[in-house]
Structure 1
Amino acid sequence: MTRIFFYISVCSSSILLSVAAMAQNKPAATKVDSLHKTIKADTTHKMVADTAKKIIVPHIDSSWYIPGGVRIGLDLSRIVSAIYYPYRKEITVVADARINSNLYAAFEGGYANTPYSDSNYTYKGNGVFVTLGVDYNFLKRQYRAEKNMFYGGIRYGFSHFTYQVPSYTIKNTYWGDHLTGSIPRTNANAHWVELLVGLKAEVLKNFFMGWNIRERILINNVKTDEITPLVIPGFGNGSKRSVFDVQYTISYVLPFYRIKEHAPKVETKAKKIPKR
């Protein structure tokens, strides 16, 4: 009887130990498999994330044409100034050519004649002048073909002119006598810089009206011991180093070329995939 009980006890213990061993081994296998799957998923995610960092979405380049051309006109303010200053007879031609969206090459040139006479002396002067520079348009376009301008610019000016005093009289009120004489023709060159700001508006197709204000600063000295030029062509009063001036212009554009304008290139990176 004792052997039967012992045998039954041993068999029961063996069965229980086998079940316990199986119960312990099964979760361990599941844990290893789960860990393997997790590592595999993380590795794939890392490769996708690294690839996403290097991908750049290409931007399709687009372009279009904007109006170009040469704008030629006249300075009407010289007509007005001749009314108030009859000795200043001057004609000025203005022109500009579009280089790109906002930049323009600018040119001015003209001729001036300065006949003057009073009870003290007679003055004669004449000469030519040119200015070269650039204008930049600060006005944001409302449409691609817009040609209106609000601009600032800089110029270099040069003038070659002659002047003379055919006769002069110096009166001596104390002694009652007069000293007369003349000053022969003198050739002179003048150099200056200009800073300006202005507006040009298209009132009819390709026809513009505009104005600008400018400050001219003389670089070299054109005075002599005998006499100072009454007027420097293109500059103004010959006795001043700096002069302020206003222009009123009418002009017309000759649109014989166009300018190709490109859309700005923008590179955007692909959105980063969030980590899980």
Structure 2
Amino acid sequence: MLRYIFINLSLILFLLPAISQDYSQPRSDRERQKLQDEEGTPLKKKEKIPYPDKKRGTELGIDISRFFIPLFDDDRIAIEASIRSNLGKRTFFVGSLGSDRVAFDDKSYTYESTGIYATAGVDYDIFAVAEEGNNDNILVGLRYGYAIQEHGASSITIYEGYWGDFTSSISPYTLSTHWVEAVVGLRSEVLNNFYMSWMIHIKGKINSSNTELLEPYTVPGFGTGSNSFNLGFSYVLAYQIPWGNTKR
């Protein structure tokens, strides 16, 4: 009998802490209280990192990647200048102006094209790490592009051994192209107010006029004329004229 009494008392003593637990609080409150008791400090929400105070101004640059085009396509010569200016702490207006010339002559086809182009858009800086003296950016953005060019084929030859060769030509005429592009890239201050940036451009054609007679070999600023989408790359060296830097 004593053995059974001892067993029952032991069970009551073992279950007493669980029975006496306060269930008046909701489960989430109890868990929060338990975490606070274990850690010794109240739980806090993760604080949002404020955007740091970076240099602001207007930047003038040149795309040096255009100088390397003849290494890959010796029929093309291109040049591009750009401008970038702060609209806010982390937003930029971005514009570019360039020209592109193509001239090639092979056994059956002679082609010439000369044109200019312009793009304009906005970039947004997603790099919000606060570090003293760090003015670097990780940028995403959108652009609108427009090109006008004059192109033609002064000589077209179709070789036919039986009926004889056929020769023709297309006189130079003007065409225009519109497109949009999404960009992503990095921008870094390498020296005081001197910046280096590279960007990847994903371009989608909106409209191209007067291409029925002759498809352009390349559209200035856009790329291969027969494509609806092109992938581009830019590498800009620039100098920033500072303004609006109240804390510097």
1:124 is matched with which residue? Answer: 112
Contact 1:114–1:124 under 8 Å retained in 2: yes
Give 2:244's match in structure 1, choosing from 255, 258, 264. 258
Tell me if structure 1 keeps the 8 A contact 2:179–2:206. yes
Counterpart of 2:176 (choices 172, 189, 210) is 189
In 1, distance between residues paired with 2:165 and 2:202?
41
- Inter-partner Cα distance in structure 2 for 1:245 and 1:169: 33
**SS class of match (1:219):** strand
User: 2:187 aligns to what?
Assistant: 200
Residue 161 (structure 2) pairs with residue 177 (structure 1): no
Aligned equivalents of 2:126 and 2:53: distance in 1? 20
Deviation at 1:167, TM superposition (A): 1.1
Instruction: Choose 1 or 2 for highest CA Rg.
Output: 1
Give 1:139's aligned amino acid.
F
**DSSP 3-state at the match of 1:239:** coil
Of 199, 221, 225, the residue aligned with 2:208 is 221
Aligned 8 A contact 1:195 1:214 in 2? yes
Distance 2:140 2:148 in 1: 26
Unaligned runs of 5+ in 1: 1-63, 262-276
Cα distance in 1, alignment partners of residues 53 and 211 from structure 2: 54
Cα contact 1:191–1:218 (8 A) shared by 2: yes
- AA at the equivalent of 1:249: V
Write out aligned runs for 1:104-183 (5 A).
Answer: 104-143=92-131, 146-173=134-161, 175=162, 177-183=164-170
Aligned to 1:248, the other structure's residue is in SS state strand
- Closer, same or farther in 2 for the Cα pair 1:177/1:216, shift >3 Å? same
Q: CA RMSD in A?
A: 1.9
TM-score normalised according to structure 1 size: 0.67
CA offsets, 1:103-147, max 9 Å, x none? Answer: 000001111111111111111111110000000000014247642
Task: For 1:88-107, list aligned pairs within 5 A.
Answer: 88-107=76-95
The one-letter amino acid of 1:242's match is: F
Aligned equivalents of 1:220, 1:112: Cα separation in 2 = 19
Aligned counterparts of 1:129 and 1:198: Cα–Cα separation in 2: 21
Q: Which residue of 2 aligns with 1:245?
A: 232
Q: Secondary structure of the equivalent of 1:111?
A: strand
Q: 1:68 aligns with which of 42, 51, 56?
A: 56
Which residue identity lines up with residue 153 of structure 2 in the other structure? V
Amino acid at match of 2:125: N
Paired letter, 2:61:
G
Greater RCO (CA < 8 Å, at least 6 residues apart): 1
* Equivalent position of 1:235 in the other structure: 222
Tell me the amino acid that sits aligned with residue 96 of structure 2.
E
Whole-angstrom CA distance in 2 between matches of 1:214 and 1:224: 24
The 2-side partners of 1:115 and 1:196 are apart by 29
TM superposition shift of 1:68: 1.9
- CA distance in 2 between counterparts of 1:192 and 1:206 reads 32
Kindly provide the amino acid, as one letter, of the partner of residue 114 in structure 2: N
Measured in 2, the distance between the counterparts of 1:70 and 1:225 equals: 41
Is contact 2:54-2:135 (8 Å) kept?
A: no
Give the AA of the match of 1:216.
K
8 Å contact 1:156–1:192 — kept in the other structure?
yes
| Helix, strand or coil at the partner of 2:239 | strand
Aligned-residue offset at 1:172:
1.1
Paired position in structure 1 for 2:8: none
Establish whether residue 81 from structure 1 lines up as the match of residue 69 from structure 2: yes
**2: CA distance, partners of 1:251 / 1:117:** 36
Shift of the 225–101 alpha-carbon distance from structure 1 to 2, 3 Å rule, reads closer
The structure whose residues are more often helix, as a share, is 1
Secondary structure of the structure 2 residue equivalent to 1:172? coil
